Structure 1
Amino acid sequence: MNILNRYYQPKDAKDAMRYIEKLFNRYRNEPLTQELLAYHQKLISQIATNIIPVAKQEHNQQRIKAAQEMETIMQQWIRAKLMGQPFNGRMHHFQFEPDNQRIKFKRHHVKVKGNSNLRSSRH
């Protein structure tokens, strides 16, 4: 196996930002440990040292601003976790989104006689 294929190689700054956002949302509610804090700070340094310079090379001001906002949100996560407070939200499109802001849709299952007709229509 080639060692270059082992690690994730983003195509551009936006791809890398999406990947970091996905990773952050995966561990945002976990209890703070020394390993998690080191990993989180590593991701913040990746944004500052790799993503922002690439976004500047792409001459994309919106992406630079989004990366800086992302870095700020991740630093706020550290402050909240160190004070023992929960982080009530997630990162969505590189911005903070509170948990209570998401729209929840209710689903109504219609059961019809049979095993596999959970969502069949009633005509």
Structure 2
Amino acid sequence: MANSDNVLRAGLTPKHIDVAELASCTIFEPKARDELLTAPSFDNGAEHYPVPVGDFKFSVYVNQVNREVTVSTPEILLALDAPVELTHTDGETLTIERGQSVFIPASAKGYKVSCSGKFARAYC
């Protein structure tokens, strides 16, 4: 969800739900099961998933060893099924375990990442 003070809630929290407005913004159209999932493009061990908004990108990386990443905007990494090891360009290291995430500020400039499994990256 992008930054906004005007949020339309769909019942995932106990906050107010404007049912009429939610219904007016919903498309009630059947779709085949194979049309529900987006197909990623593949590039050098990364699965890049199309996201229908310009606010961020979403990718899943598989079996990476010292992959160099340049940072120009904030991003979030999520360890999906194995520990993820990060090394900042200044030498500082961090390991996040399966299910954990880390916020990387734009000021980080860059890092190396290694993971024997999969991790997700949300970035701009």
Same structural fold, with TM-score higher than 0.5 when normalized by the shorter chain: no
Structure whose residues are more often strand by fraction: 2
Rg larger in structure: 1
User: TM-score of the superposition, structure 2-length normalised?
Assistant: 0.25
Q: TM-score, normalised by structure 1?
A: 0.25
